[in-house]
Structure 1
């Protein structure tokens, strides 16, 4: 069957979480939980054809609700909203009214607040498309939830395509103007699924600028050229080559993606040991590249693997952080009568 279901355990408030496993024509599988819309497992082949899990996560839903996980906040595999990334001091002004949000990443607001989209149960419907099996997830975020205005209706469709890509299609409508920045927070490790670090992965980013941030990771407003800095991935090189030159012990920044043609990848990652490759196609203007700097070995994930520093990397396609407070950034305001639509595709392959 292209889509199968199984139990994922009970949440701390007694609700049942489900797993949906999508399998394409080549045997690749993507497993997604209704809790947080979380991608819990993704099996893709290496250059010898062996399937391996390339994302970080846990064996049951309680792992995503443990005190250790919630305190460290890595957001493994989850859908993020209403606003992915940070909003300075948990405040923004919209149409003359100031709104106050949780400062859950002191002194700032992060990833939708204390109970963002990563911590709710989504309704799910399995299906099939011409491209492969699908899972449609829906969530209604009520007016005032986490301080945001408007009743926001969100739909996210996961598709595991016959071309060995995992596609995420986002759609949303609202009855009041509201900031919106949806993304997915999967941690990838194309070699050993988190049991070794990702510093040997080779990254190429089609971006010649990045958003400069202050000491709390809030953009200053400057879009700085990457040339001559450790943020220059315009030519492929290993993630670990210049990571020591980055303040904070690793990358956690937004790159300004250059426009690309339809279906053209803006990011490419190669893992030389397994031979696996990952290409990212997106219509979003930015990507947060994060190298798991805050993982410290306290979390034990699937197969008993302890996730240490740099055990995975994230490629969170997005609008820019703190855009509601930066009029010069691309707008993230969704208004009544408009439909937000966005699509990101993660394409997997092997080196020729």
Structure 2
């Protein structure tokens, strides 16, 4: 195991974790942005399986949130406002009338304090940040930490921690776009996904949750048995069409099942498994990714990656019955998501 540190643009640092199998994970202290995850395929060819910019300077205007830590609240907050304890808080409306991914000054735009660590079997970096009460309109001064740990079992462990001096809202995630074909060899149409979820959240034409949950049975949203992402991308289903032909929906995990996701890309043989303590996941198939951005392995285009944003649901701020994002004063926020990589011939 080893950790490499590189200065970037005279203001950021790039941390690279390397395990004994040659798996490599690189990320910036700016936004905690994961720029590269390199893992072997079935021929033992090691390639990058996430989208990232060719030029680091482009991360300053990272409107696609490539690889970034998202917070305080991942996802869309309806009407850029919420009420807790009979007090209404107004946030930045940075997507139409709504608030997206913590706003323009969210966690994807701050330089985190980094503390590397290493053991015989792991290498990692703990990233910490303090945001003051009132920043972005959010109540409470909150101290958060996100720890990236790479193991010799080809696991990337993301641990999220937080504590606020006032009752507030918090649900963090990582916004990496995965493409298991390696070095962007193909779109994600033929990625096979399995996920234990009986329900997903209905969206309106603004991509805001309506408050309705839809049973996945007999829909392109049923991933309880293996399904290709292309099924939804090419579907005429109203909910796939609302999301600009694809998926951008919150799936609620079945609570009596292990909360996990499995993704396979047959050509490379790569398999990614995701285990999480979060209650659900937003799966986004890069439906609106613009064409022509300079990425590390080529030009961007729609459907070039898939995000698995494990999180609670900001819809809970306006509708009952959704996994909550409220964090009470002095209560500890502790969540974990583990991405593990292997091959299947």
Report the TM-score when normalising by structure 2. 0.95
Residue 270 (str. 1) matches residue 260 (str. 2): no
Q: Which residue of 2 aligns with 1:53?
A: 48
Q: 1:101, CA displacement in angstroms?
A: 0.6
Contact 1:195 1:311 in 2 (8 A): no
d(CA) in 2 for partners of 1:265, 1:146: 32
d(CA) in 1 for partners of 2:188, 2:160: 28
Q: 1:324, CA displacement in angstroms?
A: 1.7
Equivalent position SS for 1:241 = helix
Q: 1:160, CA displacement in angstroms?
A: 0.6
Contact 2:211 2:315 in 1 (8 A): no
d(CA) in 1 for partners of 2:132, 2:293: 32
Q: Which residue of 2 aligns with 1:285?
A: 279
Q: Which residue of 2 aligns with 1:295?
A: 289
d(CA) in 1 for partners of 2:231, 2:165: 48
Contact 1:107 1:216 in 2 (8 A): no
Contact 2:54 2:294 in 1 (8 A): no
d(CA) in 1 for partners of 2:132, 2:232: 44
Residue 252 (str. 1) matches residue 245 (str. 2): no
Q: 1:129, CA displacement in angstroms?
A: 4.0
Residue 310 (str. 1) matches residue 303 (str. 2): yes
Residue 193 (str. 1) matches residue 183 (str. 2): yes
Residue 351 (str. 1) matches residue 341 (str. 2): no
Contact 2:71 2:102 in 1 (8 A): yes
d(CA) in 2 for partners of 1:196, 1:270: 13
Which of residues 34, 39, 49 is equivalent to 2:34?
Answer: 39
Q: 1:131, CA displacement in angstroms?
A: 4.5
Q: Which residue of 1 aligns with 2:88?
A: 98
Equivalent position SS for 2:58 = helix
Q: 1:217, CA displacement in angstroms?
A: 1.3
Q: 1:317, CA displacement in angstroms?
A: 0.3
Gapped runs of 5+ residues in structure 2?
A: none
Contact 2:253 2:259 in 1 (8 A): no
Residue 113 (str. 1) matches residue 99 (str. 2): no
Residue 321 (str. 1) matches residue 314 (str. 2): yes
d(CA) in 2 for partners of 1:241, 1:210: 16
Q: 1:195, CA displacement in angstroms?
A: 4.6
Contact 1:151 1:176 in 2 (8 A): yes
Q: 1:210, CA displacement in angstroms?
A: 0.4
How many matched pairs? 339
User: Could you say what the CA RMSD is over the residues aligned between the two structures, in angstroms?
Assistant: 1.4
